[in-house]
Amino acid sequence: MSIPAKVKEQYISLIEEIKHHDHMYYVLDRPEITDAEYDQLFDRLLKIEEEYPGIIVPDSPSQRVGAEPSRAFKSITHRMRMLSLQKVISPEEFIDFDRRVKEGLGVVSDIAYTVEPKLDGLAVELIYENGLFTTGSTRGDGTKGEDVTQNLKTIRAIPIKLSDETAHKYPLLEIRGEVIIRKSSFERLNRKMLEQNFSPFANPRNAAAGSLRQLDPRVTASRPLIFYAYGISSVDLPALETQFKAMQFLKAEGFLVNEFVELVAGTEAVKNRFEKLAEIRPRLDYEIDGMVVKVNEFKEQVRLGEISRAPRWAIAWKFAAEEAETKVEEIIFSVGRTGVITPVAKLKPVRVSGVTVSNASLHNEDEMTALDLMIGDFVIIRRAGDVIPEVVEVLKEKRTGEEVRVAMPQVCPSCGTRTIRPEGEAAHRCLNSACPAQVIERLFHFASKEAMDIEGLGGKLAAQLVESNLVKDPSDLYSLTKDALLPLELMGDKRAQNLLNALESSKKRPLPNIIVALGIFGVGETAARILAESYGTFDKLYNSSLDELMTIEGIGPVIAQSVIDYFANPGNRKMISKMETAGVEFPPYQIKRQKSAISGKVFVITGTLSAPRDTFKAIIETAGAKVSGSISSKTDYLLAGTDAGSKLEKAKGLGVKIISEEEFNRLLKN
């Protein structure tokens, strides 16, 4: 069907008008028309698109909502890692950061910094190709995130299309920022949830994260999410020399940029901005937990580089933890998957840093004794790092004499087995591996995403499976049938079948994930990957010796002994055998390496290079070599960039060959 020129003209005009009002409402918070008038514009747009489907363009406002629900989120690898920020909590610590920046740049003059509030939301990345928003993802682990493109398109504070000039000048743009929900919107959302008989969200951050990760974009669209942009890849924008100019560019392109972004110079100016931000924090309509400070010049950021998962050129200056007074109503004892018994204070619910807190871990007997804590005490609590609730102080002056002292239990509260406190440890333990509480925690760990990734198996279901005697160890999961599952609480036919499907899929997990799932004490994701890579097959790891384990870089004596103890345990051996019988695969694991001039060599990387160290590490490992974190007599090459530190001196002392990035590239070509 041909589209009349007049209709095309009206259609384009409507798109621009709706975009303008979206920007005024969602970004500038200055609506120019009523909701009813806005709806009339949108209805006119939809009618044209319904009559002329061929007219629809990718950046039409109608394309923000309406995609079918996704079954799962795909994984996306970030072009450049989304780094975490190191934290400081005092002026002295910030001055120390400033000193390191000056030393790294070789200057003594004041450093120019861009400062802005640290929003408490969910970090995301947006990719624009030829001016069109094409892909959006969560931060994830920094290297890979979840593809939430369709959900991000529902956020009207995110432009679907950039200006023609920008699209022409920058065919590829990577923009990062924070998805949040304002406090006022959060209160309205929770009222709506309660009216619909749903559980309210705990805090705005949880609400934002949960809303963005909805499998149905239409649900996300119904939530009051907004997006604050805070950065652009300097690789994509060589014409912009500074962070502050990048923020101005984002604002000009229609993004919401925080109103308190400012360019300052020197530690005193940064300190003044931090104090002012702390003063106005209670009056802001969004949650913040500190201030982000970034070296302003992009070229200086590149020179400073990064360490591990954090840049050297930025810091998060966190506010002091907010504190609140409440009462200890009870002290209970929880049992973890390794048998550790932890005292937990049950508190009269109180709001701290925007979250309702009703529990606080007391860690162990020594901690409880040091606090001199009793049931009935009034206490001061805070959220350590604005995350974990902890008891800071007992208000002994408020005691009435009716408080009750509690001792660590002599028997396990779950199974009744006598507890012990091993010499040299702070924790009490239950050594009964069949203890129901331990089995529940082990099931929950076994099913986690980092392990066997059994979707639908949460803590409540794990408890039901154990209490019903259906599961005594994780291997029993693979013997479950639909008939056995259906009598469980809230277990319908579809949910039971989904769980059985997830269990079947979990039989083909990579070897590092299986090692994590076993729950070997001290063996997390990193150690599991090292073990899988070092041994290649599960059988070799299963039959390894302590001497072999001790030679593996990254596996210390504690983990090595833990691995030996685990596989020596008859119960663990039986569980592994049952997993194999049930069809769980223990696939070999090997990084695909090429043969090259550096195959078999050991590298150490130091200093600032033209790309992040992880990039060079991947190149080296793919070429058949290994990367170590420390210099030793076994090191073959030190790849040294600018501002190399102590590793360079140590390499010289040991006679290790030192090569530049240019020499490294020549070596690879050979």
Q: Which residues are designated catalytic?
A: 118
In degrees and rounded to multiples of 5, residue 103 shows phi and psi of -65, -40
Q: Which residues pair with 311 in a beta bridge?
A: 306
- The C-alpha atoms of residue 228 and residue 178 are separated, in whole angstroms, by 5
Instruction: Kindly report the number of other CB atoms within 10 A of residue 385's CB atom.
Output: 13
Is 382:364 a contact under the CB 8 Å cutoff? no
Instruction: Tell me whether strands 374-375 and 626-628 are parallel, antiparallel or unpaired.
Output: unpaired
CA 157, 161, 167, 172 torsion-angle sign: positive
Strands (E), 162-221: 172-180
* SS3 of residue 155 by DSSP: coil
266: its two tokens: 């020197």
CA 68, 498, 211, 289 torsion-angle sign: negative
CA proximity to 175, closest of 71, 101, 103, 249:
249
Is 295:101 a contact under the CB 8 Å cutoff? yes
In degrees and rounded to multiples of 5, residue 387 shows phi and psi of -130, -65
CA distances 601 to 129, 631, 639, 657, Å, are 40, 13, 12, 12
Is 374:384 a contact under the CB 8 Å cutoff? no
For the chain, the straight-line distance linking the first and the last C-alpha, in angstroms and rounded, comes to 60
Cβ-in-10-Å burial (0-12, 13-18, 19+) of 448 comes to middle
Helices (H), 230-266: 243-252
536: its two tokens: 């290649």
Helices (H), 468-523: 482-485, 493-505, 511-518
Strands (E), 406-459: 428-429
